[in-house]
Amino acid sequence: MKVCTFFTHQGRGHDDPVYNLGFEKYENQCGDFYLMLGNVYDAINSGKYDDKKKIVLSLEEPNFCTPGHHVDTFNKVDKVLTICPYTASTINNRQFVFFPFNQDYIPDEHEKQYDVIYSGSIQSPAVSEMINCMLPHNYVFINFDGDSRANHPKVSYKEKLNLYAKTKITVCHNLLWPSYGNVPRYKAFLNADKNLAFQHLDKGVMPQIKSRVFEAAFSKSLILCGYDYWNTIEYFFKPDEDFIYYTSMADLQEKLNEISNNYHKYTHIVENAYKKSINNYTTEKFVERYLK
């Protein structure tokens, strides 16, 4: 296996996990093929990689699932490993996978210094409301886009994970909000009528599994996840056993208060998610399951 990465932001101190997956250490343990990550389109279409089988790891779908460039390019590879279960079930060359976490980056266990953390951009008013619910608490908000509420605007990947490890609760969601102008294009995607990821496009929302769910689990921070139409988190973790849902902003506020003040009652859930992740969701396990 030869790992080929095509990252557009590498070298900018970005906290994105895709730059830190660690597949290179397993190159000699797999077969003779290319594992391609990042903005792979030009590379695939160049013909430079036609001498071997090509496997693409797509950590964005159903994002970009519109007709034309995405479909035409991904049809040229042998397999696409995708984090979207619904796209995998409707397109022949897809295989549903988990979002791998490089076990070399598992942070040390820390005393909890903060109540709640969120790392990411503000993609919708719902996410902004979620941040507002955090503000009365001893919170961490990592944001690279200049949001005035961010108290950790730019951190490295390791620093981000250490902040997770120092925080009791990680709030998260597994949603994507496409622009309304792109809704017709998603509806025109290959087998879109069968793809459950597109069933609520008219509401302007799609499912997308986020890395922060796994980052929280590996960092021993309680996952407090927004309940949605799909609940893709349940492909990997069980509610009330490995994580907790919130169903509204009022419910989020109530649970932030309860859990932050009574964290000792919830540490068994944190440990369950950590053990499940160690045993199933590392990069090493990913290689064994999907690439060897």
CATH of the domain at 269: 3.40.50.2000
Number of domains forming the structure of the chain: 2
- Summarised one tens digit per residue, pLDDT across range 158-184 is 999 999 999 999 999 999 999 999 999
- Compute CA 124 distance to the chain's CA centroid, rounded to the nearest angstrom: 17
Judgement on whether residues 59 and 70 belong to the same structural domain of the protein: yes
Judgement on whether residues 276 and 286 belong to the same structural domain of the protein: no
Joined together, the tokens standing for residue 292 give 């060897």
Average pLDDT estimate for 211-227: 98
Q: Which domain holds residue 115?
A: 104-174+209-280
Residue entry with tokens 């013909």: 47
Average pLDDT estimate for 87-114: 96
Please indicate, yes or no, if residue 73 is contained in any of the structural domains: yes
Please indicate, yes or no, if residue 194 is contained in any of the structural domains: no
3-state helix, strand, coil in the chain (%, to 5): 40, 20, 40
Please indicate, yes or no, if residue 31 is contained in any of the structural domains: yes
Please indicate, yes or no, if residue 199 is contained in any of the structural domains: no
Judgement on whether residues 27 and 161 belong to the same structural domain of the protein: no
DSSP code of 108? Answer: P
Judgement on whether residues 96 and 60 belong to the same structural domain of the protein: yes
- Summarised one tens digit per residue, pLDDT across range 32-73 is 999 999 999 999 999 999 999 999 999 999 999 998 888 899
DSSP 26-87: GGGGS-SEEEEEES-HHHHHHSTTTTSEEEEEESSTTTT--TTHHHHHHTTSSEEEES-HHH
Please indicate, yes or no, if residue 189 is contained in any of the structural domains: no
Judgement on whether residues 42 and 150 belong to the same structural domain of the protein: no
DSSP code of 238? Answer: -
- Compute CA 104 distance to the chain's CA centroid, rounded to the nearest angstrom: 18
Judgement on whether residues 158 and 96 belong to the same structural domain of the protein: no
Average pLDDT estimate for 185-198: 95
- Summarised one tens digit per residue, pLDDT across range 8-41 is 765 554 678 889 999 999 999 999 999 999 999 9
Judgement on whether residues 84 and 214 belong to the same structural domain of the protein: no
Judgement on whether residues 84 and 133 belong to the same structural domain of the protein: no
Please indicate, yes or no, if residue 190 is contained in any of the structural domains: no
Judgement on whether residues 12 and 150 belong to the same structural domain of the protein: no
Please indicate, yes or no, if residue 78 is contained in any of the structural domains: yes
- Summarised one tens digit per residue, pLDDT across range 221-246 is 999 999 999 999 999 999 999 999 99
Average pLDDT estimate for 136-154: 93
42-51 long-range contacts (CB < 8 A, ≥24 apart) are 42/6, 43/4, 43/6, 44/73, 44/74, 44/76, 44/77, 45/73, 45/76, 49/4
Closest C-alpha among 84, 46, 277, 92 to residue 197: 84
- Summarised one tens digit per residue, pLDDT across range 246-273 is 999 999 999 999 999 999 999 999 999 9
Average pLDDT, whole number, for the chain? Answer: 95
Please indicate, yes or no, if residue 181 is contained in any of the structural domains: no
Judgement on whether residues 92 and 20 belong to the same structural domain of the protein: yes
Judgement on whether residues 144 and 97 belong to the same structural domain of the protein: no
Judgement on whether residues 126 and 70 belong to the same structural domain of the protein: no
pLDDT at 117 over 90: yes
Which residues touch 244 (CB under 8 Å, ≥6 apart)? 222, 223, 224, 225, 255, 259, 266, 269
Closest C-alpha among 102, 142, 103, 79 to residue 19: 102
